[in-house]
Structure 1
Amino acid sequence: MTQHPTPPRDPLTTALNLARSGVPVLPLRAGKAPFGNCPACTKNACGGRPNMKQTGPCTCPKPCHAWAAATTDPTVINSREWAGAWREAAAVAYHPAGARLTVVDLDNTDAVAWAQAHLPPTRTVTTTRGQHWIYRGTMRSTHDVRPGVDIKSLMQYARWLGPGTGRMILLPDAVRTLIAREEATARPTPGVASSTPAREAWHRTVATGCRHTASYVHTGLDRGVAMVLARTESGAGTQAYSVAAFLARQHAACPGPCGLDTLTEPIVAAAVSVGVPEPYARRAVTNGLAHTTGEAA
């Protein structure tokens, strides 16, 4: 795809076109922000949607909870409950991980210049201030991995600005290690405790005894995450266990260490994003990785 087609003027039409191609969408109001929650969902009084990180029972039919409202269901997108938002919508957003994508959001010309020097070329979309570089595969979303650079994938939304130009490639290690570097240098915030301790991404320094290439490991992980994300109705927890067990089996003949524990977070995040309670998802993945050694809890 080398040319931008003329985008439909109606955000609803754009959203329906994207949904038909498997991209989960939601409306954005002026200012590039999602629509606020309805009174029943304000301040998460509803308990949150089942596919949010903090899982809950909310089944609100309105476009509440930002990225977690993104859907490919035309019945929902065309529903009476979403109609008011579409009448006021200034743009369309999409959930990158729901389409098995990662967006590197480059917010200014300096960030774009850095990407051109350090990241492999991929599908590129021009934004109001910079560019979106889009890769196939998912990972954890993080803001400010370096000046002017955000990662948008799991549990995030990105504004739809057109299909872009260039050939989309598989998510490279150069992007994944941005988060590993950010986690290694980030300073803890006083008084703030995280329920999910940060883990670095898989890379060679934690896998000195692994016989596989980084590309092999990340390709397998991306395919596994995609399989978990596809379980939107049921079975995501079991799929997460199966993916983790499969990955562990691939390393059974390695002399080790292989750093398999660093592969857990993307699988857990994918399971949580489709409704699996975090403790269950984490236990399933941990047991899957330990399956080949008989250490499952």
Structure 2
Amino acid sequence: MNATPEPLRIALALGAAGVPTLPLRQGKVPFGNCRACADGACGGRPNMKSAGPCQCPAPCHAWAAATTDRHVLTSPAWAPAWRQAVAVAYHPGGAGLTVVDLDNAAAVAWARETLPATRTVPTTRGEHWIYRGVMRSSNAVRPGVDVKSLMQYARWLGPGDGRILAVPPAVRALMVKEDTTPARGGVASSVPARATWDRTVAAGCRHTERYVRTGLERGLAMVRAHTESGAGSQAFGVARFLAAQHAQCPGPCGLDAMGEEIVAVAVLVGVPETYARRAVANGLETASERAA
């Protein structure tokens, strides 16, 4: 490419410092998978939870594509993404880091009272607290707080200020046991096997029914794929993403009905109903707050 886009300049600098990066598209989310990788057809990359053989040269699979390799970052396969990129993300776990993402003023106040001060980076609505060390990632560990490290990405917003401390016990304690999907069978729940969203509950939605159902089904498949752990966190992420797609709709869009479908699938793979409902509710609420 003749002129290096600014996001790529940032990514190359981070890569040189040992921080794996990837481009973010409009909406500040990763680029979608190519056709060969769509719907898990490629088997996934070797470094994903379900290790697979995928060696796709494109920036597919979000955090799993993050790299420090200058040749990959500047490759023809990545060039279209950099031309469209609006921001840069990085894989904290790949850089030996953990990011406590504080999404609002209340969460920041909690961190200042509870956690040891470390390097902080201002965000649009809160702060990123960066610690040295890696751990399991989980969303909605408490109101307005996500933990991003292994198998997650965080948006690069600058180097921040302060000395980076080791991950404290208080952060590791946020990983509640209920986020680990228990074995199938014996999960008591009042959730029906399938509560269905349809157009009758979305009179004010600006999207077509096909658009909404396609997005919802893809999200449900992502939750369904987490049969060992992380289904609760995935449910949170899916709820947040889907709600964000309707931020500009006059409403109603039937978000509650979508939430019920997400909860039902999470429960079917073993997430306790109480936790599933809390994760989905937090996801819907987080998206609404960001749109406000």
Classify 1:137/1:37 alpha carbon distance in 2 versus 1 (closer, same or farther; 3 Å).
same
Q: What residue number does 1:174 align with?
A: 170
1:1-297 mapped onto 2 (5 Å cutoff): 10-180=6-176, 183=179, 195-196=227-228
Q: What residue number does 2:280 align with?
A: none
The Cα of 1:32 is off from its aligned counterpart by 1.2
Rounded to whole Å, the distance in 2 between the matches of 1:182 and 1:135 is: 24
Rounded to whole Å, the distance in 2 between the matches of 1:183 and 1:10 is: 38
The Cα of 1:44 is off from its aligned counterpart by 1.2
Gaps of 5+ in 2: 194-223, 231-292
Rounded to whole Å, the distance in 2 between the matches of 1:20 and 1:31 is: 26
Classify 1:145/1:79 alpha carbon distance in 2 versus 1 (closer, same or farther; 3 Å).
same
> Normalising by the residue count of structure 2, what TM-score does the alignment of the two structures yield?
0.61
Percent identity over paired residues: 64
The CA deviation string for residues 265-291 of structure 1, in whole angstroms up to 9 with x for no partner, is xxxxxxxxxxxxxxxxxxxxxxxxxxx
**Higher relative contact order (CA closer than 8 Å, sequence separation 6+):** 1
Aligned residue for 1:81, secondary structure, equals coil
Aligned residue for 2:129, secondary structure, equals strand
Further displaced range: 14-23 or 175-184: 175-184
CA contact (8 A) 2:5 2:83 kept: no
Classify 1:9/1:162 alpha carbon distance in 2 versus 1 (closer, same or farther; 3 Å).
farther
Further displaced range: 8-17 or 160-169: 8-17
Q: CA RMSD in A?
A: 2.4
The Cα of 1:195 is off from its aligned counterpart by 4.0
Aligned residue for 2:50, secondary structure, equals coil
Rounded to whole Å, the distance in 1 between the matches of 2:188 and 2:100 is: 24
Aligned residue for 1:128, secondary structure, equals coil
Aligned residue for 1:92, secondary structure, equals strand
Q: 4+ runs of 1 displaced by more than 6 Å? A: 186-193
Classify 1:181/1:130 alpha carbon distance in 2 versus 1 (closer, same or farther; 3 Å).
farther
The Cα of 1:54 is off from its aligned counterpart by 1.1
